[in-house]
Amino acid sequence: MTLIRPADAPKTILIVIGTRPEAIKLFPVIHALQRQPGVRLSICVTGQHGQLVADILAMAGITPDWDLAALHPGQSLDALLARLVPALGKVMDDVRPDWVLVHGDTLSALAGALAAHFRGIRIAHVEAGLRSGDLWAPTPEEAIRKMLAALAECHFAPTHTAAAALRSENVGPKAIYVTGNTGIDALLSTRAYVQTAPQVLAAVDALLQPFAGRRLMAVTVHRRENQGRPLATIAAGLAHLAARPDVALIYPLHPNPDIRRVMHAQLGQCPNVALIEPLDYPSFVALLDRVDLVLTDSGGIQEEAPALGKPVLVVRDRTERPEGLAAGTALLVGTQSAQIVAAVTQLLEDAQAYAQMARAHNPYGDGKAADQIARILVHES
């Protein structure tokens, strides 16, 4: 049974946040909804990324109303989902929202959508319609995206390609809104903040100072499907590149001990590699702003780096963000050492190839997605 409220009653929206990327991409939406009259906003963090989410929300001046602290060490994906669905359901029973807003392709988003569906609460999905075309790459994200498309009533697609993917799965066109990606909103506002935060700039400058005069490359590798042999071949390619005297690699390491072990073994003794702890978001934005190019398997960075004019080499075999490939801002290089080395070498040694990628149009939005989402959600019947 769907909850019914008088037409003049405040609209109640519950936002579910589980991971650091969700916090980054949803804080502009929260700010936009806070500016809308007639909105009662509740924010629930699930604890999937714990302190990483807390740091982002604190930076954005946001205090969550609920913290489920649901993640336990060594917890399996199905066990986490089993904890999250009833916990979020209890929150919804207390809040009685008109809408539950979820983002992306995480277990927290799926749990929020399931709990809402069981209660007849309308579901809105931010960053809807991303597809790799392979149910197992990435896993479980691709499957979660498809499940969310079946559950949501309002789909905020970041691009026309994402909207077309939803239509191909029989999502009604009237339920799809192309808004751009809220990650660009977050990036641009954080970049502006960084320019007024001398402590952030000083820390990043100190990190880069030992590598003055070298071409700088930011590296992030963490995806589940790249662990094992792909991770080893990626690391070997990075070690080959690190042997160049004109290059420096800045690599904020993922907390996963398997990733750390492989990368320390291959890169730990390289003098022009900085294996560092994960950076807070403002510091990472400042780093992106200063490097020459980016090598990553991250989804969000495929969107962020082009907005700063940084070529992106994607160390995956498939991507759910084909717009960057089509625009020329990103290049899919796979996980084999030789391919990685060849692609990076071309950008380092071919000024025209570098300029073509650095100057390519960013297809992911203009930084106004959050305001569009807030207006649409508030005025939906």
**Residue 222 designated active-site:** yes
Q: In this structure, what is the dihedral angle of CA atoms 344, 347, 348, 350, given to the nearest 10 degrees? A: 140
Q: What residue spans of the chain are helical by DSSP H? A: 20-34, 50-59, 77-95, 107-118, 141-151, 160-168, 182-194, 198-208, 229-242, 257-267, 281-290, 299-307, 322-327, 337-349, 351-358, 369-379
Options 117, 191, 214, 224, the catalytic residue: 224
What is the DSSP code string of 343-362? HHHHHHH-HHHHHHHHTSPP
* CA–CA separation, 284 and 204 (whole Å): 9
Amino acid at position 75, single letter: Q
Distance, CA of 89 to CA of 92 (rounded, Å)? 5
Q: What is the DSSP string of 81-94?
A: HHHHHHHHHHHHHH
Tokens at residue 177, please? 């809104």
Q: Residue 311 carries which DSSP code?
A: -
Sheet holding 11-17, edge to edge: 66-67, 39-45, 11-17, 99-103, 122-126, 154-157, 176-178
127 is catalytic: yes
Count Cβ atoms below 10 Å from residue 153 Cβ, excluding itself. Answer: 17
What DSSP assignment string belongs to 13-62?
EEEEE-SHHHHHHHHHHHHHHHTSTTEEEEEEE-SSSHHHHHHHHHHTT-
Does residue 92 contact residue 345 with C-beta atoms inside 8 Å? no
Catalytic one of 254, 290, 318, 375: 254
Positive/negative CA dihedral, 376, 378, 379, 381: positive
Distance between CA atoms of 129 and 136, rounded to whole angstroms? 16
- Considering 20, 22, 122, 127, which one is annotated as catalytic? 127
Catalytic residue among 40, 119, 222, 375: 222
Q: How far is CA 58 from CA 52, 55, 68, 344, in A?
A: 10, 5, 17, 36
Active-site residue, 142 included: no
Q: Which amino acid is at 24?
A: I
Task: Return the active site residues.
Answer: 105, 127, 141, 222, 224, 254
